[in-house]
Structure 1
Amino acid sequence: MSPNPNTKTGRAQLARHARRFGHFHDRAKATIAITCPLCKDRPSGPEPRYGESVNQALDALLDTHLLYDCPKGPQKND
Protein backbone atom coordinates (compact mmCIF):
# COMPACT_ATOMS: atom_id res chain seq x y z
CA MET A 1 0.00 0.00 0.00
CA SER A 2 1.42 3.38 -0.96
CA PRO A 3 1.47 6.36 1.41
CA ASN A 4 -1.56 8.66 1.28
CA PRO A 5 -0.61 12.26 0.29
CA ASN A 6 -3.87 13.47 1.89
CA THR A 7 -2.47 12.96 5.39
CA LYS A 8 0.50 14.52 7.15
CA THR A 9 1.84 11.04 7.99
CA GLY A 10 1.53 9.96 4.36
CA ARG A 11 3.38 13.04 3.14
CA ALA A 12 6.16 12.38 5.69
CA GLN A 13 6.46 8.80 4.40
CA LEU A 14 6.68 10.07 0.82
CA ALA A 15 9.41 12.53 1.85
CA ARG A 16 11.45 9.75 3.49
CA HIS A 17 10.99 7.63 0.38
CA ALA A 18 12.15 10.47 -1.87
CA ARG A 19 15.22 11.18 0.29
CA ARG A 20 16.36 7.57 -0.12
CA PHE A 21 17.03 8.34 -3.77
CA GLY A 22 19.07 11.44 -2.98
CA HIS A 23 18.69 15.12 -3.51
CA PHE A 24 20.24 17.77 -5.72
CA HIS A 25 22.37 20.68 -4.59
CA ASP A 26 23.22 23.64 -6.81
CA ARG A 27 25.92 25.56 -4.94
CA ALA A 28 26.09 28.31 -7.58
CA LYS A 29 22.42 29.20 -7.01
CA ALA A 30 22.36 28.14 -3.32
CA THR A 31 19.39 25.83 -3.90
CA ILE A 32 18.44 22.24 -3.14
CA ALA A 33 15.92 20.03 -4.96
CA ILE A 34 14.29 16.64 -4.58
CA THR A 35 12.38 14.43 -7.00
CA CYS A 36 8.70 13.91 -6.16
CA PRO A 37 7.93 10.17 -6.02
CA LEU A 38 4.38 10.72 -7.34
CA CYS A 39 4.79 13.02 -10.34
CA LYS A 40 8.59 12.97 -10.87
CA ASP A 41 8.76 16.79 -10.78
CA ARG A 42 11.83 18.25 -9.12
CA PRO A 43 10.75 21.05 -6.77
CA SER A 44 13.60 23.26 -5.58
CA GLY A 45 14.10 25.79 -2.86
CA PRO A 46 16.75 27.66 -0.89
CA GLU A 47 19.50 25.90 1.02
CA PRO A 48 18.72 25.08 4.66
CA ARG A 49 18.84 28.00 7.07
CA TYR A 50 21.21 28.05 10.01
CA GLY A 51 20.15 25.37 12.49
CA GLU A 52 17.97 23.51 9.97
CA SER A 53 19.11 20.13 8.66
CA VAL A 54 19.09 19.24 4.98
CA ASN A 55 16.51 16.53 5.71
CA GLN A 56 14.17 19.04 7.38
CA ALA A 57 14.50 21.42 4.43
CA LEU A 58 13.88 18.63 1.89
CA ASP A 59 10.86 17.35 3.83
CA ALA A 60 9.35 20.84 3.99
CA LEU A 61 10.04 21.38 0.30
CA LEU A 62 8.33 18.13 -0.73
CA ASP A 63 5.42 18.69 1.69
CA THR A 64 4.75 22.10 0.13
CA HIS A 65 5.01 20.63 -3.35
CA LEU A 66 2.55 17.84 -2.51
CA LEU A 67 0.05 20.24 -0.95
CA TYR A 68 0.05 22.92 -3.64
CA ASP A 69 1.79 21.93 -6.88
CA CYS A 70 1.77 18.16 -7.38
CA PRO A 71 -0.72 17.00 -10.03
CA LYS A 72 -1.23 13.83 -7.94
CA GLY A 73 -1.39 15.64 -4.58
CA PRO A 74 -4.37 15.98 -2.22
CA GLN A 75 -5.65 19.25 -3.72
CA LYS A 76 -6.30 17.42 -7.00
CA ASN A 77 -8.55 14.86 -5.31
CA ASP A 78 -11.27 17.36 -4.42
Structure 2
Amino acid sequence: MNPATKTGRAQIARKAREHGYFHDRDNFTIAVTCPLCREKVSGAEPRYGESVTKALDALMDAHLLHDCEHGPQQ
Protein backbone atom coordinates (compact mmCIF):
# COMPACT_ATOMS: atom_id res chain seq x y z
CA MET A 1 0.00 0.00 0.00
CA ASN A 2 1.80 3.04 -1.30
CA PRO A 3 0.20 6.38 -0.30
CA ALA A 4 1.97 8.06 -3.23
CA THR A 5 -0.26 6.29 -5.77
CA LYS A 6 -3.99 6.60 -6.29
CA THR A 7 -4.39 2.82 -6.08
CA GLY A 8 -2.39 2.70 -2.86
CA ARG A 9 -4.51 5.45 -1.29
CA ALA A 10 -7.68 3.56 -2.29
CA GLN A 11 -6.34 0.41 -0.60
CA ILE A 12 -5.52 2.36 2.55
CA ALA A 13 -9.01 3.94 2.59
CA ARG A 14 -10.60 0.49 2.17
CA LYS A 15 -8.50 -0.87 5.03
CA ALA A 16 -9.54 2.06 7.24
CA ARG A 17 -13.24 1.40 6.53
CA GLU A 18 -12.81 -2.30 7.32
CA HIS A 19 -12.02 -1.31 10.90
CA GLY A 20 -15.18 0.79 11.11
CA TYR A 21 -16.02 4.45 11.10
CA PHE A 22 -17.65 6.96 13.43
CA HIS A 23 -20.89 8.80 12.77
CA ASP A 24 -21.74 11.68 15.10
CA ARG A 25 -25.37 12.44 14.32
CA ASP A 26 -25.50 15.34 16.80
CA ASN A 27 -22.72 17.25 15.01
CA PHE A 28 -23.42 15.88 11.51
CA THR A 29 -19.89 14.51 11.07
CA ILE A 30 -18.27 11.24 10.05
CA ALA A 31 -14.77 10.06 10.91
CA VAL A 32 -12.39 7.20 10.24
CA THR A 33 -9.02 6.28 11.76
CA CYS A 34 -5.98 6.36 9.48
CA PRO A 35 -4.30 2.92 9.49
CA LEU A 36 -0.86 4.50 8.93
CA CYS A 37 -0.68 7.21 11.61
CA ARG A 38 -3.73 6.28 13.76
CA GLU A 39 -5.09 9.85 13.53
CA LYS A 40 -8.88 10.23 13.53
CA VAL A 41 -9.86 11.97 10.28
CA SER A 42 -13.26 13.67 10.32
CA GLY A 43 -15.46 15.75 8.08
CA ALA A 44 -19.04 16.64 7.27
CA GLU A 45 -21.45 13.77 6.81
CA PRO A 46 -22.51 13.20 3.21
CA ARG A 47 -25.53 15.02 1.87
CA TYR A 48 -28.76 13.24 1.13
CA GLY A 49 -28.22 10.71 -1.64
CA GLU A 50 -24.42 10.69 -1.36
CA SER A 51 -22.54 7.56 -0.37
CA VAL A 52 -20.93 7.36 3.09
CA THR A 53 -18.24 5.11 1.58
CA LYS A 54 -17.37 7.70 -1.05
CA ALA A 55 -17.24 10.47 1.57
CA LEU A 56 -14.97 8.42 3.86
CA ASP A 57 -12.66 7.58 0.96
CA ALA A 58 -12.44 11.27 0.03
CA LEU A 59 -11.60 12.19 3.63
CA MET A 60 -8.86 9.57 3.78
CA ASP A 61 -7.43 10.57 0.39
CA ALA A 62 -7.19 14.22 1.43
CA HIS A 63 -5.62 13.24 4.75
CA LEU A 64 -3.00 11.05 3.07
CA LEU A 65 -2.11 13.74 0.54
CA HIS A 66 -1.89 16.67 2.96
CA ASP A 67 -1.75 15.70 6.64
CA CYS A 68 -0.51 12.15 7.23
CA GLU A 69 3.04 11.82 8.54
CA HIS A 70 3.41 8.73 6.31
CA GLY A 71 1.89 10.34 3.21
CA PRO A 72 3.66 11.05 -0.09
CA GLN A 73 4.57 14.61 0.91
CA GLN A 74 6.99 13.29 3.56
TM-score range, shorter chain: over 0.9
Which residues of structure 1 form unaligned runs of 5+? none
Which one of the candidate residues 22, 35, 38 is aligned to 1:24? 22
Q: For 1:26-65, what per-residue CA distance to the aligned partner results, in whole angstroms no more than 9, with x for missing partners? A: 1111000000000000010000123310000000000000
2:13 match: 15
Which structure 2 segments of 5+ residues have no match?
A: none
**1:40-51 map, 5 Å:** 40-51=38-49
Instruction: Flag as ranges the 4+ runs of structure 1 deviating above 2 A.
Output: none
Q: Please give the TM-score of this superposition, normalised by the length of structure 1.
A: 0.92
Aligned identity (percent) is 68
| Distance in 2 between residues matched to 1:12 and 1:28, nearest whole Å | 29
Give me the whole-angstrom Cα distance separating, in 1, the residues matched to 2:19 and 2:72.
23
Corresponding residue of 1:38 = 36
Higher relative CO (CA 8 A, sep ≥ 6), structure 1 or 2?
2
Tell me how far apart the structure 1 counterparts of residues 69 and 25 of structure 2 sit (CA, whole Å): 28
Q: How well do the aligned residues superpose, as a CA RMSD in angstroms?
A: 0.6
TM-score by length of 2: 0.97
